[in-house]
Amino acid sequence: MSKVSLPQGTRDFSADVVRKRNYIFNTIRSVFELYGFQPLETPAMENLETLMGKYGDEGDKLIFKILNNGLDRPEKKEKTIAAFENILAGKNNTAITERALRYDLTIPFARFVAMNHQQLVMPFKRYQIQPVWRADRPQRGRYREFYQCDADIVGSNSLINEVELTNIYATVFKQLGIDVSIRINNRKILAALAEVCGGADKMIDITIAIDKLDKIGIDKVKEELTNKGLNESQLNTIEKYLQIDGDNRSKLQKLNSLIGISAIGKKGIEEIEFILNHTSTKTLPIVTDFTLARGLNYYTGIIFEIQATQVKMGSIGGGGRYDNLTSTFQVPDIPGVGISFGVDRIYDVMDELQLFPKDVQTGTQVLFFNLGNLESDAAFNLMQQLRNKHISCEIYHEQAKFDKQFKYADKKGINYIVIIGSQELADKTCTIKNLLTGKQQTITQDELLDFVF
């Protein structure tokens, strides 16, 4: 074992992995652009105070903080020690750390909007594909450095935006070849359930409990809610709510009879109906799921979650509507709605189902054999001309036996080799061989430049 190592939860990506990941990134990016979203990049680090308090207590603990420089300067000693005592007491102290690594893309985006909202053309549609860092305990599919791909629309309350985002999900996963179900729900419906159960203040407890339904079963959910102080008739309502089934339309009908008396519940149902009416459920795999809650507390309307249907895996995407994105940055509430793609999990799903196209791995297309000084000079010249035609080529790094040069091409997955030896040099020809078919032909050097690889 080597002594050099990687920090916990981080990874190197070798060529074949990078190519496959780029295939996913490029697919997502091109669809974002197709729908009129603009790119945004923000710094790897933010001021600590920008991030703290935005992700809940658990989230705050998982933020990577950056140690200030110059703490060892003698004149700062007293201050540093005092600040360190503060840290030990569980408080933050900017004398020791005032910057932190980006934890997600949403809060930096909110910060950006708060700083620039007067210049931005509203509604502002941005997408962002960058790594984020979390001091989480790594597990399968969970890392301390991973990429997020977000698209958000801010400054508009229109449900057209939700429809567009639903279509983006459908388009991306269709292009990638992954069968998914797009589960949707509405926070307003969850709020109405809490209201009807006589405990509007219990909404958080109720949503956390019912979100676990498929994991722990209905009895455990009821048990958990009893412990939170819900009574028998409230539990009955929730049980009826959880038993709603059928297709999307009949689910909404049953839901309406249960919580339709609540104004906010009616609104929530109407919003979901709007999405269903403006998308084709024949082609889009939209499934209403009233148990869907999603962890982040800032969602206020429609929420999404994407599940791969052929592989057992956590969600590979999610998002929703929020009404108060910028309020914590002293800017009047700007509403928005956004979605996110989990690239690392999408990669795992595609790898398992072997969905990556074969040509993803094509690197160098042509290898020129190196058969001597004069020969390689001629090869060099031709190689540069091919490169000008956007054909990626390389020349073997030294004169060597055929055997070695063939094996090099084989290992690197190069499909064509071009041989220019003394004979070809004299004739101004070259021999080109397709390593997949084994066929070879000798053509003039001029013809090589127009060869279709």
Partner RNA sequence: GAGGUUGUAGCUCAGUUGGUUAGAGUGUCAGAUUGUGGCUCUGAAGGUCGGGGGUUCGACUCCCCUCAAUCUCCCCA
Nearest distance, CB of residue 99 and RNA, angstroms: 20
CB of 212 to RNA, least distance (A): 7
Residues 6+ apart with CB under 8 A from 48: 63, 65, 92, 94, 97, 98, 99, 100
Query: For residues 265 and 285, which CB has a smaller minimum distance to RNA in the complex?
Result: 285
Of 76, 106, 73, 111, residue with least CA distance to 93: 76
The b-or-e profile of 121-152 (16+ CB within 10 A means b, else e) is: eebbbbbbbbebbbeeeeeeeebbebbbbbbb
Q: Which residue, 191 or 252, has its beta carbon nearer to RNA?
A: 191
Tell me the C-alpha distance between 314 and 311, whole Å: 9
Quick one: CA torsion of 166, 188, 258, 270, rounded to 10 degrees? -50
- Minimum Å distance from CB 68 to RNA? 21
User: What angle in degrees, to the nearest 10, is found between the helix axes of 187-196 and 232-242?
Assistant: 150
17 vs 122, beta carbon nearer RNA: 17
Judged by beta carbon, residue 282 or residue 401, the one nearer RNA is 401
Query: Would you tell me which residues interact with RNA (CB under 7 A)?
Result: 1, 5, 7-9, 56, 58-59, 104, 134, 136-144, 146, 148, 208, 212, 215, 294-296, 314-318, 340, 342, 344-345, 371, 401-404, 406-407, 409-411, 419, 421-424, 431, 433, 435-436, 438, 440
331: burial class by Cβ within 10 Å (0-12, 13-18, 19+)?
Answer: middle
Q: Provide the Cα torsion 231, 237, 238, 241; round to 10°.
A: 180
- Closest distance between RNA and the C-beta of residue 63, in Å? 12
Instruction: Quote the least distance from Cβ 319 to RNA, whole Å.
Output: 9
Q: To the nearest whole angstrom, how small is the minimum distance from the Cβ of residue 157 to RNA?
A: 23
In the three-class reduction of DSSP (H, G, I as helix; E, B as strand; rest coil), residue 215 is classed as helix
Residue closer to RNA (CB basis): 269 or 367? 367
Q: How far apart are CA 228 and CA 278, in angstroms?
A: 39
- Whichever of 141 and 260 has its CB closer to RNA, that residue is 141
Where does residue 354 rank: exposed (0-12), middle (13-18), buried (19+ CB within 10 A)?
exposed
Question: In whole angstroms, how close is the CB of 1 to RNA at the nearest point?
Answer: 4
Find the distance separating the first CA and the last CA of the chain, reported in whole Å.
43
Q: 126 or 144, CB closer to RNA?
A: 144
At its nearest, how many Å lie between RNA and the CB of residue 141? 6
Cβ closest to RNA, residue 143 vs residue 241: 143
Residues in Cβ contact with 258 at an 8 Å cutoff, skipping those fewer than 6 apart: 196, 237, 240, 241, 244
